[in-house]
Structure 1
Amino acid sequence: MDISDVFLDLLRHGASEEAFDAAFDDVAEVARARGATAEELDRLRERRAIARQIRERLQRHQKREAELTALFDTANDLIAIRDVDAILAAIVRRARQLLGADLAYLSLNDEAEGASYMRVTDGSVSAEFRALRLPLGTGLLGLVAQRGAPYYTDDYQHDARFIHRDYIDHAVGDEGIRAILGVPLTVEGRVIGALLAGHRSVRAFPRGEVSLLTSFAAHAAVALENARLFQETQAALAELDAANQRISEQAHALELAAGAHDRLTEILLRGGGVGDVAAILGDLLQASLAVYDADGHLVATVDDDEATQGAPDLSPADLAAAAEESRTKGRSVELDRQGRQGRPVYVAAALAGAEHLGTLVLHSGAEPLTPGARRTLERGAVVSALVLLFARAAADAEDRVRGELLTDLLSEAEHSVEALRARARRQGADLDRLGVVAVADVAGDDRHSAARAAARLASELGGLGGEYEGTVVLVAPGQAPRPVGETLSRRLAARLGSQAVTVGVATDPQRRTGPAGVRAAWREARGCLEALHALGRSGEVSDPTGLGLARLLLGHNGPDDLGGFLDDTLGPLVAYDERRGTDLVGTLDAWFAAGGRLAATAQSLHLHANTVSQRLERISRLLGPRWREPDRMLDLQLALRLWRLRSVPR
């Protein structure tokens, strides 16, 4: 029989490689016996090699066909499974079977933690291995789960390509794994985990096994995603009845919302206030409603006797806590604390972005608010925020104009006095009447809010207020500094809920009016503020008279400041002497020089003791009874000393 027929017969029966070798040996022996040449024997060997190649190719095709059939059958099985736990178990079981691996395992990624954790294993004998949780990028599994590409190793423990961790290597060793192949599970370009097959002996992974597991993982990922979507669909269907009920309720809510929208929009269009919003909400919801500003002050209210019967009184702390909860959640909140009749109370924060502008407190009727009614309340809170924001924007614009005028008035830059007077008149202030300047320093980060409060007070007083060079400034009419400073201090403390307000207040020592006088008064008041801080008297209010000598020692002083100190201290005596031609200043100086002894003073002045006594009584009437107190006497003696020095001819 021809050698080709022998090999074809062997191929048809799927003979082993050894059978091909045995057949060749038999045919070659017969050929030699017949006297075959070396060339004929070479041709026989060539035919044997061709037959072997055909055999190997047939085997590869058969194996590929078997793998594809198994993969197809597995994919069909996976698609039919709807339970996520069941499909995960099927994935690892089929993967292990297809590759003939000792074990297979599947991990899922925890993106929040940045790790991949064992979800299902098949063939594992180590509890430590089954509990592994690998940071993305560590180990072979963590690298596959992070990069989304296949990786394999003949011997993991001795493979330096991977980031090893002691606890990972210990778990792998406890399982006895040597060779590992891992491929990613990918859904719509996103890696959700990894599928791995392992052997407990050192071995290589042919390219075909890598392709096979990669293809299987692709089907498995799709099946896994289908199972998840199926479960979500089932859950959605289970909620369908409830959704239909909600739709019915929402239809009514939409009708209520449409009416609320039209009426609330009208308020915005015609420039209404929060009181109008409260009135509409009270009417729509048949409830009582109160609106508070961001500081907890009541700005509008609508009462409904039935709704408010037995309603709780909210303390400022309760109101602030409820408003913060509403702001954090982004919706209205129902208070646990209810009225005596069990009527619910709701709080909704009026927000502009993350800024809290106000709070709405609603006392409902006997029944709790429906979801639609609560949304109407929340919509009213949004409109209230817009109304408050518009009002604040208008006020801020006015404050900005006042602030610019204040800056121009106090700065050393050249400005037309008449232009400044005209701008002040437009703001309701008369520069020729502005004589008192208060400068306040506010602890914490509330300076902007304090500047706005000062501007409001200035508007009430017919002056100017705002922020200048890092302090809060109030310029007011009149010549009585201290009451203005105390008023500003109280107003700021009430506005900020704090007593950490330090105020220096003064008038122009030269009693000038207009911009020059205001600037001089501002310098005096700023010096008082600096002196208060230097003395550690934060939180107090003082004018130059209250500081006395300390103002000269601690302030930034010039000739005008010295003149102001002398005027505040000796001014009444100097003015009296100039009008009457007397010498009360000299008498006081002599009295101090004589140590306060009446007889010695009279002797030094060559006057009768009764005359000196009368002059001292006049000094008491002009300076006030406190001039003999130690701190006041120190100021007077220093003032007399400075007065003498200024009077020395040059």
Structure 2
Amino acid sequence: MTTDALDHRLLRALLDTAADLAELADTESVLASIVRRTRALVGTDMAYLSLNDHAAGETYIRRAEGVVTHAYRTIRMPIGTGVLGKVAEGLAPFQSLDYSNDPTITHLPQVDHAVQAEGVHAIMGSPLVVDGRPLGALMVAERRARRFTHSEVTIVESLAKHAAIAIQNAHRYTEALNAAGRADADRDHERESLRELTRLDELSSRQCQSLLEEPNETAVLNRAAEHLGVEVELLSPERPTSPLRPAPTLPSRHTAGVAHEVEAPDGCTWTLVPADRDARDWLAVRRALDPAEEKALLRTAQHLLLARRLRSARRATELEAGAGLLAELVDDSAGGIVRRRRALAELGLREDSQVSLVVIDLAAVPEPQFAERVLSPVAGVRLSAPRGGTWCVVGDRPDVPARVEAAVRHATEAVWQMAFLGPGEHFRDLPGAFHTLENALAVSRVAGGLHAVDASTVGAVGMVLAGAGEASKDVTARPLAPLRDLPPQRASALRETALAYLDAGMNVAETSRRLFLHRNTVLQRLEQLGAVLGPDWHTPPRSLDLHLALLSAARDDGGAPGAPPARSQPRRRAEELRRSRQRTRE
């Protein structure tokens, strides 16, 4: 099942539950609907829901789906024992791969007998918690031993949060109906409570509908603003309001399910509700709220948390899927061609598609946020996925490398390097192409700084320097030792001329063209080089050592070894040319 389909089914289940809750006439039907949808969505052998009896210190199964035996269906056990009791404590989701053989949980003989009679092995569940108070647990179980995946735990946890709200609302609705019939004096108050509850449910339904369309924070905040008639902001120490509208001092502590009223420097009263468990972010409204509006803001915080969980789960799944496709593209085993064809089809590419490849080495950049925020919006990017400490990009446009480089350069100040190939890489050659990219990236790492290296231009010299790394510095610096005694500007000009001369195959005319210098100036510098380095400086094998030394020096000055100067360091080269012309005029 794709990530979008899974998110769609989860949100549809939540919306259907909200629709059941709107009737509120039959609590048992609501509970049955929650259990039935949980089992269907996760695909387990059974699902059940327990409620806590805090007076007795026990939790008991209230509704079940897929359970065969009466003993299992009527389990009642102390809170804190077994898997069900541990989840019902309200701390966090919990699972046991094989209940009967799990020594980490407290076993009860009567419960163990019921579990064995039902044939249950794997059990997982999430607590039902509202306003910090555990109501019970939403559980799923299998008649085989296995580990539930992170996505399955997230689904049950999300449904448990909505189920807890449904149970609480049904209880409140029943209490409101009973209270409405007690006395005429209380009737108006109870009717208002029902109206508030209905409006709150309507807000929940609208927010769930927004999450179904796109799970993001903005949609949740917009629905809350429409409900309250005032802008709802998300504040944090890193995300203050406009200087024209001073933000309040955020509380250092918070109580779950409680709104805070604080005063801003301009005297305005703000109402704040923590938007996460650690109170890093706060939902904020620039006025005081009545109790019903506070509940709406608290409900919004719950839906905001749900949006973040869904988005995080989708990111993780997309990263995993992208890494899998990338592994198929670089698979050079016997069956690799078949897998590459399948991966290309999954990306919407043909075997004759002209693809561009980019490999990026990043530091201090969060992976999921980076891919979603920087790489995904780049036009032509079909796949961006992590691989071995790098990010790999596959594109179907010739300008993808340039666009990726511009996007990364704009998005982060962290030290990064990238290597690219294409367009035109054939699908049969992709494993070798990625190997070439990794070698080119090694060259860029040795160069340091900000570099974008065309892997097709990194020759053997660059690979030798990259492989030698720091150890090459002392050896390659020796042939240039005589130039150290010269004035810096003169030494720089001679190094530049020597490198261009050797790069041009010792052709004076080509050297003159590359340096934008007069032929006579080049000849004068070559004569000076002979005087300083010796007349055989451009004769093999000494010229090879000198060439390596010059390339290494260019690398240390900010260029990529083995890469064309115009591609790897255009600004530096232009500045040196300007200085050379100035020295010539002088």
Question: Which TM-score applies when normalising by structure 2?
Answer: 0.41
Question: Which TM-score applies when normalising by structure 1?
Answer: 0.38
Highest Rg: 1 or 2? 1
> Which is helix-richer, 1 or 2?
1
